[in-house]
């Protein structure tokens, strides 16, 4: 398994392969912490949905430019997903 620091910088490797390595390594490193972070606020099934959405965002970001601080990117994006979820819930409550 490649470290997050080297997964994206492998010379000669297929860009798709580098992306897959980067995302796989980040999932192995942080998914448990992120799931726990989400489950403090939402149900287990909602946490899984948010985790999936978070990794879709990571893939899109890696395709543009890999985050220099993957953990920071993931937790910042996770907090943003929770805020958006709360806003949507609050907006529904106003209807």
Check residue 53 and give its pLDDT: 97
- In this structure, are residues 5 and 18 in contact, taking their beta carbons and an 8 Å threshold? no
**Cα distance between residue 19 and residue 93, in whole Å:** 40
Domain over 13-94 is classified CATH 1.10.340.30: no
Ranges of each domain in the chain: 13-94
DSSP sequence for 6-29: HHTT-TTS-HHHHHHHHHHHHHHH
Burial of 44 (0-12, 13-18, 19+ CB in 10 A): exposed
Give me the chain's average pLDDT, please. 85
Per-residue pLDDT of 42-67, as tens digits, reads 999 999 999 999 999 999 999 999 99
**Cα distance between residue 23 and residue 62, in whole Å:** 8
């Amino acid at each position: 398994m490649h470290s997050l620091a080297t997964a994206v910088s492998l010379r000669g490797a297929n860009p798709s392969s580098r992306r897959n390595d980067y995302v796989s390594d980040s999932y192995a490193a942080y998914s448990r912490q992120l799931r726990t972070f989400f489950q403090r606020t939402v149900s287990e099934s909602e946490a899984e949905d948010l985790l999936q959405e978070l990794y879709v965002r990571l893939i899109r970001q890696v395709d543009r430019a890999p985050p220099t601080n993957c953990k920071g990117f993931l937790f910042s994006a996770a907090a943003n997903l929770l805020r958006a979820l709360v806003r949507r819930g609050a907006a529904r409550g106003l209807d």
